[in-house]
Amino acid sequence: MSVHQDQSHSVDRRVRVQGRPVDSYPALSPEAERGSVRRVTVVGEEILRRPCQQVTEFGTPELSALIDDMFLTMHVADGAGLAANQVGVDLQLFVYDCPDDNGIRHVGHLINPVLDEPDPGSRRLVEDSEGCLSVPGAVMAVPRTDRAVVRGLDKEGTPLVIEGTGYFARCLQHETDHLFGHTYLDRLSKRDRKDALRQMEDRREDVFAQRAIKAAGLAN
């Protein structure tokens, strides 16, 4: 116990933006400040079932605007991550604003991501609660590796390597899955998948109402 406490004092607790620590960062990201809210797609829609296309043009105003809109949409929906096909756009891009298990906040975007497969010897699966903005209201236990490394590009085309542990590792895996046409429901047994869809049917209208209230509050 004391060893763990000693280690925690040495952890750099600064917010990580695009994988790099920064000295200060606002509660609402600058991207979200600039963005507009878009509709979130719901499981069953075809765009969530197919692999997204790679981004080939970088540094464009359209790409920057999409990222801004995704950040605000994620914020309004109380999400930790959001993939482009979740706002109806067929591109390999996701955004995130997510804590890890140490409470360190990670913020950024990643384009054309590739998830490094962990070495089988060091691979540790953790089953923990997971939700999805496209499965509104449902939460299920999903097995994921406790560490993740994702390689990709930023909106200017600069290479990035983002590493995550704990809940942030889960987020990176979840969002990368989306871009290859998978939701977390695909990782569940048939019975658990039915349970998740039943939860969604029961709660989705309440979730949509909460999102609308939050979006309206931003407009005032």
- The residue type of 13 is R
Alpha carbons 33 and 192: distance in angstroms, whole number: 37
pLDDT greater than 70 at residue 7: no
* pLDDT tens digits, one per residue of 12-31: 999 999 999 999 999 999 99
Give the DSSP letter of residue 133.
T
Q: Which residue has the tokens 């990643």?
A: 110
Note if 175 is an active site residue.
yes
Alpha carbons 184 and 193: distance in angstroms, whole number: 9
In angstroms, what CA-CA distances link 184 with 49, 67, 104, 109, 131? 12, 23, 24, 20, 8
Closest CA to 87 of 113, 110, 68: 68
Q: Considering 117, 156, 175, 201, which one is annotated as catalytic?
A: 175
* pLDDT tens digits, one per residue of 147-161: 999 999 999 999 999
Rounded to two decimals, the pTM is: 0.93
- Bridge-partner residues for 91, per DSSP? 53
The per-residue pLDDT of the chain, averaged, comes to: 93
pLDDT greater than 50 at residue 78: yes
**Do 16 and 107 meet the contact criterion of CB atoms below 8 Å apart?**
yes
* pLDDT tens digits, one per residue of 185-209: 999 999 999 999 999 999 999 999 9
Tokens linked to 133: 């903005």
**Do 101 and 164 meet the contact criterion of CB atoms below 8 Å apart?**
no
Closest CA to 200 of 39, 44, 38, 37: 44
Alpha carbons 70 and 86: distance in angstroms, whole number: 9
Please tell me the predicted confidence (pLDDT) of residue 1. 36
